[in-house]
Structure 1
Amino acid sequence: MLAVATGVLAGLAGAALMVLLHATAHLTYSYRSGDFLTAVEQAGAARRVVALAAAGAVAGIGWWLLRWWTGPGGSEVSTALWRDEGRLPLRRSLGTAVLSVVIVGMGASLGREAAPRLTGAALASRLSDWAHISTAHRRLLAACGAGAGMACVYNVPLGGALLTLEAMLGVLSLRLALPALVTSCIATAVSWTVLPTGPTYRLPNVGVSASLTVFAVLIGPVAGLAAVGWVRMIRIAHRHRPTGWRLLVMPLLVFTMVGVLAVPYPQLLGNGKDIVQLTLGAQLAAPALVALLFLKPLATAGSLGSGASGGLFTPTVATGALLGSLAGQGWTHAWPGPAAGFAVIGAAAVLAAAMQAPVAAVVLMLELTRTIDALMVPLLFAVCGAMLVSRRLDTPSIYSVRLPAQ
């Protein structure tokens, strides 16, 4: 019953947060529907800079006030699961989630999934208090709530369940699979009352291709190295997050810089969903791919390091898609292949190595794009290559690297 209640609450909370995200984007950029990037481009360069500066002010003042109001304590899902026995302060977590989704709606270069993940885990933690369950069950329920929050906003019930097990709990166990599946499926079904039911990314038809398979074998280790560099960037950014009065200033400065960069590259704003879609449609030339491959991770790591709270899932997918698309453009000169396939393969490989969750990464990319047959084998080759490199270099995940030092 607790798993069912967690799924329902996570689904309702996830839907509510996405409505808030949409409303914020509408107020900031007159966004109504379709691609967020179109609204950002139509808003004009000056409005982008002003919007990001305002987002930085909201982030700095908001989190400073939240810490003053709620007192000491953290609101990181990973820390709660691995250090705090699955306990999350509800007020602090809900406040962080709302602020996170508001600044993403205003264009912050962070993922939107952090808010529903945190909210789902915090609600599960409160249910655990009410039911007086054991520490092990509390930790499991909090992880299920986090996975359910992720599942409902991306419409990935199986991927959300696997993320719960592989990335958050660190174990693929049949005993733990049932509650993870139940919460993710219920949350996704509940969110359908408000959120779209289609795939996150529109993918053109991709057939079975020998070119893609060989490309996947070669790009895997490269993607692994890229993921290692990305995780290390996140570690550096997290270790240098400001405290005290600096929390009021740093988000404003960093977000304004991102806004300035968004004058020539409006694709930098938001979580990176539109970047992925552009790579799937082969709509970015090589110079733009190179620039965004450098600037998007930098903008996201800088935003996180400024003291803001946000997700890393879609920025990681976008980084991998940019890498795969750029490498694919060179590869097609020797052996032509579908551009969308190159992007999906790069995204899956970087995501797997960055999360240290190969099974979840493969399933998530297949669910996000609603493709199975043609890309399954290339995805597995690329993910295996990326994982071998990242494990060889003893790389943590983008979640564990944010744990506070003991």
Structure 2
Amino acid sequence: MWYLSILQHFRRLLRPQRRLAIFEACLIGLVSALAAVLLKSGVGWLGAWRVQTSFLLPAWFVLPGVGLSFGFLAGWLVERVAPETSGSGIPQVKAVLANVPIALDLRVALVKLVGGILALGSGLALGREGPTVQVSAALASQLSRWFPTSPDHRRQLIAAGAGAGLAAAFNTPIAGVLFVVEELLQDFSGFTLGTAILASFIGAVVSRVLGGRSLDLNLALTASKTNFFVQDIPFYLVLGILAGLLGALFNRGIISSLTVYRRSLRFGLPARVGLAGLVSGVIVAMLPLAFRDNTGLREILITGEASWSIAAIAFLSQFILVLVAYGSGVPGGLFAPALTLGAALGYLVGIGEHSVLLPLGIESGLPITFALAGMGAFFTAVARVPITGIIIVFEMTTDFNLVLPLMIGSVTSYLVAEKLVPGSLYDKLLEWNGITIKKESSPEGIMTSLTAKDVMQQQVETLDAEMPLDEAMQAFARSHHRGFPVLEDSKLVGIVTQSDLLKIRDRNLGNDIYLKEIMTPVPMTVTPIHTLRNVLYLLDRYQISRLPVVDGRKLIGIITRGDIIRAEADHLNCDNGTPGIRPQPSYVVYQTRSPSTGRGRLLVPVANPETAAILLQMAAAIARDRHYEIDCVQVMLIPRHSSPSETEVRTAKSRRLLRQAEVLAKKWQIPLHTQIRVTHDVAQAILETINEQHIDLILMGWKGNTSTPGRIFGNVVDTVIRQASCEVILVKLGTPQPSFNRWLVPMAGGPNSPLAIKLLPALITLGKDPQIRLTQVFKTSELKPDMSVSEQAIRHLMRRRKLSSTVVALPVQANSVAEGVINLVKTEGYDVVILGASREGLLQQAIQGNIPEAIASGVESTVILVRGAINN
């Protein structure tokens, strides 16, 4: 292509690397500004058309209609072309910077740009700043492909693009730089700062010029002047506390909204976003006219034109509208909503201060000052970037009167929010999507994460306070210890060391004295919850070599410098076998992802290549019937003394097994996600996958018996049955070759029998001419059972699916359920038995044994055990 030769010419011209980096930073700043202006103009034009149309036609029709249609179109575009553009975009950028394999290229930039214009212009209460960051980072990533560089250089250019996007969106170059170093990279190196500063500066300048503002930095958002008095400080503290509380609640609400949409509204992304647009339009149509323009609403609050009622309605409505919109997966950000919510909250606090101080004749600050300080405080509570929160509002206003209010409010809100809901919202959004960014470990981390109880020696040699001195000397002679705790009535009263014995010799004291006369009384101690950092500080501060660990006055252990050194060495060597230290979680060494288009997720752990294909066929049948996505996990065990995150493993065999699943999923046109996990414990790895990927159903294979003492189905299966909150399907495949034509379904009338019936329409598609028998077992001493439950199940099957197969309901007489089912299978040759059972029913041992396990062990046919979802 012609442009490739031009790019090669530029690469030759701009060597060495520093010159190339300067050129790339300038280019990134320019394209980021152009993208920001285009997104702003597009959203502004579409939003203005929407608002104007709502004045010409009935708002109750226009606003919901525009939200539904454009929201559906935006969701369709995202789902079909670039699923990575769903949501804010900042979590995706942060994941890419942490070397997570997520697409970030020109395709992502274009879809995010168009999807953002459609979604935000339709009236959804989200911001364009997050999308601008992702668009700019994607453009920077594409440029880094055209100008090949090292991986570290590419990461810094992507971060510079993200900073330039934020700077261009808000016209705040310093905030763009701080966002890069405070949230995205946590890197203050000269190269990172240089590229980020240059890109952010150019992005802000170009955006300001093209966006209709001059370069006069004295232009502020507010025409009125702000003020600040000493008597305002308590109210800014109150503002910070409220912002921290409500910001933490807002973050919790975001995660809850995503969960509700995924688990309760199980339809495609276009329908979810369209529904969010419809609901948002209905709500906005019922609100005052000012609420139809989100940007205009914020400006009303920070110019002092709003009443307290408008501010209160603004906070409540925006809070709800943001949760409704973001949970749908719409391409929109949270920065602008956080600023609007903060402005409303600050305005209310300012009005409250005025009403309190005015009757007392005390001068008070203007509500607009509180509104602007509230913007920074709430932004900080949501994004957890206090420095960026302070600077971004200051740069938007260029008002030095705001510096102290912003600092007080933002720092207070950060401390409160971090105490209530620790951690970055973007990290939690990534974790919700099953992506965990691994932070580099360090001895400093060990010093703060481990406590004295984790490291102390529990077996402690002690001496009695009434022990004669000569016996104490013999104890020292026999032991390698240089000091002993001294107890009296089982309570710590002192400590004696070799130094104390030397003092006795220097003083020429006799050997007929007791230990309590020479010991050091009231020794320095630590509690079990003291961190190693605190322990080491005390050892250094008082120049001692050991510290007793006490609970009250009871001695429970002792900790020395050697114990701390061993703990650090164990961590560096990844030795986690020490009792009391929490086992390490599993580690993902390989994964692939498909677009998330399903209503739920089905997990299939694969281990045996001989049975994997049949299990995957069963999973596909269920996934097609329920419109689920399939998660396929392969677990690799490593020794306990090795660390899952640092152990080298060979994944070729596992990847071949997963490729088999990928081929089948492509044939069935079902979204498939795969991963390989390295772990110490298979069951724990499966449970972690269930929680991280929000699994709705797990389908597992089982060999049919176990030799593990105290276990019903085996270590792994028993643990999953007990602890997994999702629906569980356990499959023992028949021998020698499983068939799926003749089905037997025992009906006991319990809560999980309908689950077996619910699965039948999907699973019988595995056979050619399936025949189904529903049966109820009754004893010879009992009357013939009521078959109404089975008849109702037949009617349900007929309504659920037009079955060409035969479905009958017949009882069977036997001494026990297990005996009756086993005899039926053997005499009439059923291929599959499907049982519904609770968690307790699957694991409880009765006098006659476990019924599902007895049936599975007693027949050679395929047995499917179903357990419904539970709430742990």
In structure 1, the residue matched to 2:35 is: 13
Give the superposition deviation at 1:228.
Answer: 0.7
For 1:340-390, what per-residue CA distance to the aligned partner results, in whole angstroms no more than 9, with x for missing partners?
011111111111121111111111001112212x12112111111111112
Counterpart selection for 1:61 from 76, 94, 109: 76
1:217·1:382 contact (CA, 8 Å) conserved in 2? yes
How far apart in 1 are the matches of 2:247 and 2:282? 26
In the superposition, relative to structure 1, how do residues 174 and 204 fare at CA in structure 2: closer, same or farther (>3 Å)? Answer: farther
In the superposition, relative to structure 1, how do residues 19 and 291 fare at CA in structure 2: closer, same or farther (>3 Å)? Answer: closer
How far apart in 2 are the matches of 1:303 and 1:317? 16
Letter of the 2:75 partner, please give it. G
In structure 2, the residue matched to 1:255 is: 277
2:406 equivalent to 1:392: no
Letter of the 1:343 partner, please give it. A
Counterpart selection for 2:65 from 42, 50, 71: 50
Higher share of residues assigned strand: 2
1:55·1:252 contact (CA, 8 Å) conserved in 2? yes
Counterpart selection for 1:405 from 434, 437, 451: 434
Letter of the 2:63 partner, please give it. R
In the superposition, relative to structure 1, how do residues 99 and 326 fare at CA in structure 2: closer, same or farther (>3 Å)? Answer: same
How far apart in 1 are the matches of 2:71 and 2:173? 33
How far apart in 2 are the matches of 1:158 and 1:67? 31
How far apart in 2 are the matches of 1:146 and 1:89? 13
In the superposition, relative to structure 1, how do residues 192 and 369 fare at CA in structure 2: closer, same or farther (>3 Å)? Answer: closer
In the superposition, relative to structure 1, how do residues 71 and 149 fare at CA in structure 2: closer, same or farther (>3 Å)? Answer: closer
Letter of the 1:339 partner, please give it. P
1:90·1:123 contact (CA, 8 Å) conserved in 2? yes
In the superposition, relative to structure 1, how do residues 314 and 71 fare at CA in structure 2: closer, same or farther (>3 Å)? Answer: closer
In structure 2, the residue matched to 1:180 is: 196
Letter of the 1:390 partner, please give it. A
In the superposition, relative to structure 1, how do residues 40 and 340 fare at CA in structure 2: closer, same or farther (>3 Å)? Answer: farther
2:246 equivalent to 1:231: no
In structure 2, the residue matched to 1:379 is: 406
Q: How does 1:6-405 map to 2 (within 5 A)?
A: 6-30=28-52, 45-46=59-60, 47-67=62-82, 76-84=92-100, 88-197=104-213, 201-242=221-262, 245-265=267-287, 266-270=289-293, 272-335=294-357, 336-372=364-400, 374-403=401-430, 404-405=433-434
In the superposition, relative to structure 1, how do residues 120 and 307 fare at CA in structure 2: closer, same or farther (>3 Å)? Answer: same
Letter of the 1:12 partner, please give it. L
SS in 1 for 2:428: helix
In the superposition, relative to structure 1, how do residues 361 and 44 fare at CA in structure 2: closer, same or farther (>3 Å)? Answer: farther
Equivalenced residues, count: 394
Q: % of aligned pairs identical?
A: 25
In the superposition, relative to structure 1, how do residues 174 and 323 fare at CA in structure 2: closer, same or farther (>3 Å)? Answer: farther
Letter of the 1:370 partner, please give it. T
Query: What TM-score results when the alignment is normalised by the length of structure 1?
Result: 0.88
Query: What TM-score results when the alignment is normalised by the length of structure 2?
Result: 0.43
1:155·1:197 contact (CA, 8 Å) conserved in 2? no
1:279·1:321 contact (CA, 8 Å) conserved in 2? yes
In the superposition, relative to structure 1, how do residues 300 and 383 fare at CA in structure 2: closer, same or farther (>3 Å)? Answer: same
Where structure 2 has 5 or more consecutive residues not aligned to the other structure, the ranges are: 1-22, 358-363, 436-872
Q: Which has the larger radius of gyration?
A: 2
1:213·1:377 contact (CA, 8 Å) conserved in 2? no
In the superposition, relative to structure 1, how do residues 277 and 192 fare at CA in structure 2: closer, same or farther (>3 Å)? Answer: closer
In the superposition, relative to structure 1, how do residues 340 and 356 fare at CA in structure 2: closer, same or farther (>3 Å)? Answer: same
Give the superposition deviation at 1:245.
Answer: 4.3
1:201·1:369 contact (CA, 8 Å) conserved in 2? yes
2:137·2:162 contact (CA, 8 Å) conserved in 1? yes
SS in 2 for 1:132: coil
Give the superposition deviation at 1:400.
Answer: 2.5
How far apart in 1 are the matches of 2:110 and 2:220? 25
Give the superposition deviation at 1:174.
Answer: 5.0
Where structure 1 has 5 or more consecutive residues not aligned to the other structure, the ranges are: 31-38
- Mean Cα displacement is larger for which, 55-64 or 344-353? 55-64
- Mean Cα displacement is larger for which, 236-245 or 396-405? 236-245
Give the superposition deviation at 1:302.
Answer: 1.4
How far apart in 2 are the matches of 1:342 and 1:58? 39
SS in 2 for 1:399: helix
How far apart in 2 are the matches of 1:40 and 1:112? 22
Higher share of residues assigned helix: 1
2:228·2:365 contact (CA, 8 Å) conserved in 1? no
In the superposition, relative to structure 1, how do residues 226 and 55 fare at CA in structure 2: closer, same or farther (>3 Å)? Answer: same
Give the superposition deviation at 1:148.
Answer: 0.6
Report 1 or 2 for greater relative contact order, CA contacts < 8 Å, sequence distance ≥ 6. 1
